[in-house]
């Protein structure tokens, strides 16, 4: 078999990402495809477009069922539970759900959203990801959030009452003028709620954001490093296992949806600006190919029925190993050669040389056949992945 012909014994698992691109207000640090909502959201129209978009992607399914679904944003919790129910019903009818499917909704902790948690749970959504960011009112204000600390507390209690025993809290650290004690207090407050999962992100200043135009005063490198070290120790002490750069969970409660991305599984992406990654067994030359799909980004163009929504490109075979690494090496557990073969379609011989070089440079290590990034490798992930291009 020539080295660049892909070969798959079976297709990777399949997930579905659904993007809802509106928020009450745009946060000054956020570069996601999210837009301040106008008085009246075109919710019904958008749900109809999502279902069309999904139907148009059915050629990517190739006999699989969905292992996970993620409603992300923007702020999907602005939508009505009935809208989520319609989308889920279409996905179940058109594709089908695997047993124990994980269905996550990103929710903001505003009062308006909290009131809908029970109804969301009744649609079959079984995991909530709540964007807390901080429990400190002054920080929440600096971050331009529309909720306060009391609402954050209440949202978490409401999530539990609504029957979400599996939920994630998003927190950020390294916030403007933040001291070590404040960052650790935020983390401790979150841990006291015993979430099954914590996403603990260091604030980054992204291009095209308000914070980029008017940079706030961030703690220095050393303070940010200290916050990170102390936070890591606290999370480990409380039984949260780090399994990815910013993801921590109770044992067995890693996000299956995000794991599938990082393991280089397949996913459909529907909604404005959503991305998908698909293994197509019968590609354009009758041989397997990996594809990336991208949907029209601006919500008003996405809603325009006259224009095509789906844009597809083939991942060049010589780029596949590098893309696999950019994902798999985010995971602490790394990957095995069998995983590499199964998800990339390439033979393991393809990465032998890169592995040797990376090991010699102290960027990779092998533990029980798992090829894992070292601490240095995690810091220099781009350089590490470049060894496989
Ligand atoms: C898709 S976003 C938004 C989810 C939800 N709309 C919210 O804000 O609560 C997911 C998470 O990414 C994190 N995030 C967004 N921008 C970030 C940045 N510039 N630096 C670090 N984390 C960021 C936030 O913790 C946020 O909750
Ligand atoms: S952080 Fe969340 S609420 Fe804020 S603009 Fe981004 S997606 Fe919207």
Is the whole-model pTM more than 0.95? Answer: yes
pLDDT of residue 130: 97
In ligand 2, which atom is closest to the CA atom of 26?
A: 5
- For residues 296 and 272, the answer to whether their CB atoms sit within 8 Å is yes
> What does each C-alpha distance from 292 to 206, 247, 287, 302, 369 come to in angstroms?
24, 25, 16, 18, 30
Complete DSSP assignment for 141-173: HHTT-S--HHHHHHHHHHHHHTT--SEEEEEEE
Q: What's the rounded mean pLDDT across residues 181-194?
A: 98
Query: Which residues approach ligand 1 with their CB closer than 6 A?
Result: 29-30, 32, 72-73, 75, 106, 108, 131, 133, 170, 172, 201, 203-204, 206
Strand-pairing partners, residue 14, are: 66, 266
Establish whether residue 97 lines the binding site of ligand 2, counting it when its CB lies within 6 angstroms of any ligand atom: no
Establish whether residue 23 lines the binding site of ligand 2, counting it when its CB lies within 6 angstroms of any ligand atom: yes
Least confident of 31-35, 38-42, 46-50, 250-254: 38-42
Q: Does pLDDT of 70 surpass 90?
A: yes
For residue range 131-160, what is the model confidence (pLDDT) as tens digits?
999 999 999 999 999 999 999 999 999 999
For residue range 293-340, what is the model confidence (pLDDT) as tens digits?
999 999 999 999 888 999 999 999 999 999 999 999 999 999 999 999
Residue 257 in 3-state DSSP? helix
Q: Does pLDDT of 1 surpass 70?
A: no
Distance 121 CA to ligand 1 centre (A): 22
> How big is the chain, counted in residues?
389
């Amino acid at each position: 078999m020539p080295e660049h012909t892909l070969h798959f014994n079976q297709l990777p698992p399949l997930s579905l990402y659904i993007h809802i691109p509106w928020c009450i207000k745009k946060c000054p640090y956020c570069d996601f495809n999210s837009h301040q909502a106008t008085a009246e959201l075109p919710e019904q129209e958008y749900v109809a477009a999502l279902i069309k978009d999904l139907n148009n992607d059915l050629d990517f399914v190739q006999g699989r069922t969905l292992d996970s679904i993620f409603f992300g944003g923007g702020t999907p919790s602005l939508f009505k539970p009935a809208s989520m129910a319609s989308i889920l019903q279409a996905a179940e009818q058109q594709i089908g759900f695997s047993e124990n499917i994980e269905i996550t909704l990103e929710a903001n902790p505003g009062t308006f959203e909290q009131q809908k948690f029970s109804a969301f749970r009744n649609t079959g959504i079984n995991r909530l990801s709540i964007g807390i960011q901080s429990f400190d009112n002054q920080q929440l204000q600096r971050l331009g959030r529309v909720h306060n600390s009391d609402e954050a507390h209440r949202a978490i209690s409401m999530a539990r009452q609504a029957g979400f025993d599996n939920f994630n809290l998003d927190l950020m650290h390294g916030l403007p003028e933040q001291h070590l004690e404040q960052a650790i207090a935020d983390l401790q407050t979150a841990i006291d709620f015993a979430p099954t999962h914590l996403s603990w992100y260091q604030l980054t200043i992204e291009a095209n954001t308000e914070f980029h135009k008017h940079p706030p005063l961030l703690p220095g490198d050393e303070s940010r490093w200290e916050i990170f070290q102390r936070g890591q120790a606290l999370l480990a002490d409380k039984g949260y296992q780090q399994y990815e750069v910013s993801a921590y969970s109770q044992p067995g409660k890693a996000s299956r949806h995000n794991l599938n991305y990082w393991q280089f599984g397949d996913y459909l992406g529907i909604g404005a600006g959503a991305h998908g990654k698909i293994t197509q067994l019968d590609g354009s030359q009758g041989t397997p190919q990996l594809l990336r799909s991208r949907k029209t980004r601006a919500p008003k163009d996405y809603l325009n029925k006259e224009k095509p929504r789906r844009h597809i490109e083939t991942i060049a075979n010589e780029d596949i190993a590098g893309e696999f690494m950019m994902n798999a090496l985010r995971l602490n557990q790394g990957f095995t050669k069998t995983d590499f073969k199964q998800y990339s379609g390439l033979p393991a011989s393809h990465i032998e040389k890169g592995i040797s070089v990376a090991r010699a440079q102290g960027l990779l290590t092998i533990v029980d056949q798992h090829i894992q990034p070292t601490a240095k490798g995690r810091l220099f992930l781009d350089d590490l992945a470049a060894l496989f291009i």
